[in-house]
Amino acid sequence: MIVAAALVMTATPAADAEAAARAAILREMEASAAGWNSGDLNRFTAIYAGDATYVTGDGVIRGRANIAAHYADSFTKRGNTRGALRFEPLYWRALGNDRELLIARWILTPDRGAASSGMTSLVFEKREGHWRIIADHSS
């Protein structure tokens, strides 16, 4: 019984740290989606590291500035022309210290018509106290 209690106590700090990291990442995702939904390109792309890579159907985009340029045409002063964005986390995996993999479904709900959705694989790294996407593969 004492051994089991000791194992639980040593596992708790790691589990707490992982839960805290994932909660912080979800807050970053919500802030990014809020940027998309309000038409704020800088807020939407703030989640990306400066050296992030983004894989699209057309190839690989390198760097936050180029990722922002890729999305710029969709942004207006009142929102995003492609619809309201939200995410549904589906799978998490720790990738060592200060790195997490999140696989999620993205959902765009336009003002009119049917919603569209797809999948995204995001690798996050904690940098200077913030969780940033370093790799994004979305389809």
Task: Express each pLDDT in 5-55 by its tens digit.
Answer: 444 445 578 788 899 999 999 999 999 999 999 999 999 999 999 999 999
Q: Give the C-alpha separation, 21 to 16, whole Å.
A: 9
Per-residue pLDDT tens digits for 51-83: 999 999 889 999 999 999 999 999 987 788 899
The CATH class that applies to domain 2-138 reads alpha beta
Contacts of 17 (CB under 8 A, 6+ apart): none
Q: Give the C-alpha separation, 123 to 139, whole Å.
A: 15
Q: Rounded to two decimals, what is the model's pTM?
A: 0.87
Residue 127 has pLDDT above 80, yes or no: yes
Distance of CA 54 to the CA centre of its chain: 12
Structural domain boundaries in the chain = 2-138
Which residues on adjacent β-strands are paired with residue 138?
120
HEC sequence for 80-121: ECCCEEEEEEEEEEECCCCEEEEEEEEEEECCCCCCEEEEEE
